[in-house]
Chains A and B, each alone.
Chain A
């Protein structure tokens, strides 16, 4: 190969992936590390990369302690209820106590936050959400990151982390390739903040053909956060906790503003309210601790997202679909109608296009909703990601090993989708996590923990060979056939992705099986994933763009394998409406009120699973008495 090797040496903090988590990390790192070398590697263009590339119409995580609205512990309790108890409350508390300072800075930088003219506080959409004109959210935070970073490498897809050869289990940087020039990039760094994305497109999407790009989470969210860290031997947590979204049909337009601000509501195909009738049986299934219909009614305690999905799915399967969003009332108010449209244009333009194409005017017609295919991520209403240390002043010893947001690999930090157990961080919380990780990474370096790192030429060359192998493979076998894409020696990235999506769908609880799986199915799925892994060694890339898709697929595959193992390990149905274990259809607090933790041995590919204790915030009785 004629591609050059470009080495960037002496980096202190390498940020892999510059979405909201990565921009937060790069920005904050400069404050704690004035003389440190901060470098960003981003596979797209930092100005429009990550899940917020298109913009957002709301910031979904803002406490408002300044306006007397909420305290951090209130948000922890909310996330705990929503995730059926399975969260890292130390990390959540930490994120929540810092997130407002992030949002206040965004406003200062020029992000238009709406204000409530009556109170002067930010315009609330719901208890945790504030409304913004966020079309340029990403370019604005990108400016902040660019001001702090020494160098930004756009269009460099990071494929692997480098490991230190002087000390075991310590990170030493990363490698990847430039998707324009094809050049091989080596980043030698004392610390790495993985802030890459969660995973769309690992379960078969409802859309077919051209529409396969219309996934709920960005199609470029390739699970690289997990692929990179799993491959480095970092422990992962809650990877079974995939999320299914109830959204506007086909366009997957957001419903948050509709429910919370516009006060629209759902009904079945007969025009009836349907949720409540499913709740008594559901209460039996999950227990009163997680669904107490009476208490929810009295105290406005939120009903977990997954349980509302459960009612939706069951109502449709009972033959009373489609589920409609009742917009015809709210949209008679021209102001609310305008908000409804702005909401799409600010974050999911495709839904506006679809309604324009199908003449759906929500003023005169109640649009259809659907439940999406599952997604694996850690910043929305779900908490997949790496098993990370929490902050010193909050975390119990089980959750603390020196540096906030550091994974179980030394010097390897996470933010956003990369960190497990911290759902409901969203954009502002992910940026905040990046800031926390950056401060901790600077401290790690100042403590001398990154000294004496050694990376051999052998490691660098081995990775290089591995990275370009799909292109070599193509060159060797392409001319064995006349033309076309059918070749007995290889599959291309699209063919591999289709296979992955089909098997995840059918064996791990996708849409076509109504989110159902069991031990037998999962074991078959794991076998098929192994076969796919073997074939991924024979994946062929015709050009650099296909090479990008090949590596995205490999990251998605590693993510999927973790999801399958975790789903097999947790022998209960913790989140009905996200997925079901048909052989264990109940919440089982006696055995499974724990967090699941996995590690894949990078040498052998073998998985080990363990249970980790789940801690919850409770009133400190003695403190309360003393006060």
Chain B
């Protein structure tokens, strides 16, 4: 179900062009609005649909296997941290509203700026540990798993 753009809603702002992972949302030079230049490289990922500030982009199921007359619409709200979906069947008999959280924290606030955290010691550098380890592995006092601790060795050939 490749994307398409409604003529009366699109103002050519280019948000969809900016976000499309497949580089297929482009601005048409004549009507100066966005459109899908390559539907057979569209993954129906909805990145552009979610990014459009005017709800101008929608999806119509792939012509080679999806009959017309369905609708899957979405509203994504970073402030509220939720995404809302509405699915309507072709026969109109099923009409579902589904809501899901997209984050549990204010956007980007709880991601550490690693340039500002204390530098790792030489001992840490020489170890196999990564940032925040070993603490973040199990939140206990234990260290990193090793073959020795697990009583294991690597042996060549078929195993039994």
B20 at the interface (CB under 8 A from A): yes
**In the complex, A147 Cα to B114 Cα: how many Å?**
8
Q: Which residues of B contact A213 (CB under 8 A)?
A: 2, 22, 39-44, 62
In this assembly, does A214 line the interface, its C-beta being within 8 Å of a C-beta of chain B?
Answer: yes
CB distance from A612 to the nearest CB of B (A): 10
Cβ-defined contact, B89 with A361, below 8 A: yes
Instruction: Check: A357 CB closer than 8 A to any chain B CB.
Output: yes
Q: Does residue B85 face the partner (Cβ distance < 8 Å to A)?
A: yes
Contacts of A98 in B (CB 8 A): 130, 133, 137, 144
User: Is A89 touching B21 in the complex (CB atoms < 8 A)?
Assistant: no
Beta-carbon contact of A101 and B136 below 8 Å: yes
Residues B87 and A356 in contact, CB atoms below 8 Å apart: yes
Task: Answer whether residue B64 sits at the interface, using C-beta atoms and an 8 A cutoff.
Answer: yes
Q: Is the CB of A616 within 8 A of B155?
A: yes
Decide if A184 is an interface residue (CB 8 Å cutoff): no
CB distance from B124 to the nearest CB of A (A): 9
Return the chain B residue nearest A623 by Cβ.
B151
- Report whether A133 and B100 are in contact in the complex, using a CB–CB cutoff of 8 Å: yes
A44 touches B152 (CB 8 A): no
Q: Is A451 an interface residue (CB 8 A)?
A: no
Q: Which of A97, A208, A616 contacts B64 (CB 8 A)?
A: A208
Is A356 within 8 A of B133, CB to CB? no
In the complex, which range does the number of interface residues on chain B fall in?
Answer: 35 or more
Do the beta carbons of B130 and A110 come within 8 Å of each other?
no
- A73 at interface (Cβ–Cβ under 8 A)? yes
Given A53-B47, A210-B62, decide whether A614 and B157 contact each other with a Cβ distance below 8 A.
yes
CB <8 Å contact, B153 and A617: yes
- B117–A31 CB distance below 8 A: yes
Min Cβ gap A176→B in Å is 14
Judge whether B119 and A209 touch: CB under 8 Å. no
Q: A627 near B65 (CB under 8 angstroms)?
A: no
Q: Which B residues are CB-close (under 8 A) to A28? A: 114, 130-131
**Is A58 in the interface zone, CB < 8 Å from B?**
no
Knowing A219-B43, A545-B23, the reply to whether A615 touches B155 (Cβ < 8 A) is: yes
Report B17 CB to chain A, min CB distance, Å.
Answer: 9
Q: Is the C-beta of A534 less than 8 angstroms from some C-beta in chain B?
A: no
Quick one: which of B66, B119, B130 contacts A435, CB cutoff 8 A? B130
Evaluate contact between B71 and A356: CB separation under 8 angstroms.
yes
Assess the B154–A361 pair: CB atoms within 8 A. Answer: no
- A110–B1 CB distance below 8 A: no
Which of A1-9, A162-170, A342-350, A517-525 faces chain B?
A342-350
| Known contacts A71-B145, A359-B93: A345-B100 contact under CB 8 Å | yes
Which of chain A's residues 208-222 have a Cβ closer than 8 Å to chain B? 208-215, 218-220
Q: Chain A residue with minimal CB distance to B71?
A: A356
Q: Which of B72, B103, B144 touches A111 (beta carbons < 8 Å)? A: B103
B40 close to A357 (CB less than 8 A): no
Are the C-beta atoms of A143 and B20 separated by less than 8 Å?
Answer: no
Q: Report the minimum CB–CB distance from B47 to chain A (whole Å).
A: 4
| Chain B residues, Cβ within 8 Å of A27 | 114
Which residues of chain A come closer than 8 Å to B93, judged between CB atoms? 359, 361
B131 and A31 within 8 A (CB): yes
Q: Which of B71, B94, B152 has the most CB of A within 10 A?
A: B152
The residue among B40, B71, B146 with the most chain A CB atoms within 10 A of its own CB is B40
0/1 interface trace, chain A 326-343, chain B, CB 8 Å (1 if under): 000000000000100110
Asked if B103 and A627 sit within 8 Å, CB to CB, the answer is no
The segment from A278-286, A388-396, A596-604 found at the interface with B is: A388-396
Q: Is A65 an interface residue (CB 8 A)?
A: yes
B67 to chain A, nearest CB (A): 5
B105 at the interface (CB under 8 A from A): yes
**Residues in B neighbouring A179, C-beta threshold 8 A:** 23
B contact residues around A47 at 8 Å (CB) = 19
Centre residue among A54, A108, A350, A616 by max chain B CB count within 10 A: A350
* Contact (A209, B154) CB under 8 Å given A53-B21, A353-B59, A356-B88: no
**B8, CB-defined interface residue at 8 Å:** no
Report the Cα distance A147→B119, complex, angstroms.
16
Instruction: Answer yes or no: A49 CB below 8 A from chain B CBs.
Output: yes
Q: Roughly how many angstroms separate A197 CA and B95 CA in the complex, as a whole number?
A: 37
B136 CB to closest chain A CB, in angstroms?
A: 4
B141 cross-chain contacts in A, Cβ below 8 A:
none
Interface residues in A50-107 by Cβ distance below 8 A to B read 50, 53-54, 65-66, 71-73, 80, 85, 89-90, 93-94, 97-98, 100-101, 104-105, 107
Q: Does A212 contact B47, Cβ atoms closer than 8 Å?
A: no
Instruction: Pick the most buried of B18, B45, B88, B90: most chain A CB atoms within 10 A of its CB.
Output: B45
Cβ contact within 8 Å between B96 and A341: yes
Interface string of A11-49 (1 = CB under 8 A from B): 000000000000000011011101000000001110111
B12 at interface by CB-CB < 8 Å: no
Q: Contact between A101 and B113 (Cβ–Cβ < 8 Å)?
A: no
**Nearest chain A CB to B81 CB, angstrom units:** 8
Question: CB distance A109 to B154 under 8 Å?
Answer: no
Whether B37 sits at the interface, judged by CB under 8 Å, is yes
| Assembly CA distance A342 to B120 (angstroms) | 41
- Let me know if B132 and A101 touch, CB within 8 A: yes
B3 to chain A, nearest CB (A): 10
Q: Does A533 touch B at the CB level, under 8 Å?
A: no
- Give the distance in Å from the alpha carbon of A388 to the alpha carbon of B154 in the complex: 17
A108 to B104, CA, bound (A): 9
Is B61 part of the binding interface, using a Cβ–Cβ cutoff of 8 Å? yes
Residues of chain B contacted by A619 (CB below 8 angstroms): 151-152
From B40, B83, B139, give the contact of A212 (CB < 8 A): B40
Beta-carbon contact of B39 and A210 below 8 Å: yes
- CB atoms of B108 and A143 under 8 A apart: yes
Task: Given A45-B18, A345-B85, check contact A218 B128 (CB 8 Å).
Answer: no
B67 CB contacts on chain A under 8 angstroms = 357-358
Q: How far is the CB of B42 from chain A (nearest CB, A)?
A: 4
Q: Which residues of B contact A144 (CB under 8 A)?
A: 111
Distance of B21 from chain A, by nearest CB (Å):
4
For A54, list chain B residues within 8 Å (CB): 43, 45-47
A398 to B145, CA, bound (A): 22
22 A-B pairs with CB atoms under 8 Å apart are: A28-B130, A28-B131, A65-B137, A105-B132, A108-B110, A111-B103, A133-B102, A135-B76, A135-B83, A144-B111, A179-B23, A210-B39, A210-B64, A213-B39, A219-B22, A345-B100, A349-B45, A354-B61, A356-B88, A358-B67, A393-B146, A618-B155
The 3 closest A-B pairs by CB, nearest first: A110-B105, A211-B62, A101-B136
Given contacts A100-B136, A289-B158, 18 further A-B contacts (CB under 8 A): A44-B23, A45-B19, A48-B20, A54-B46, A66-B137, A101-B130, A101-B137, A110-B104, A136-B102, A211-B62, A213-B62, A220-B23, A345-B100, A349-B44, A349-B59, A357-B1, A615-B154, A624-B151
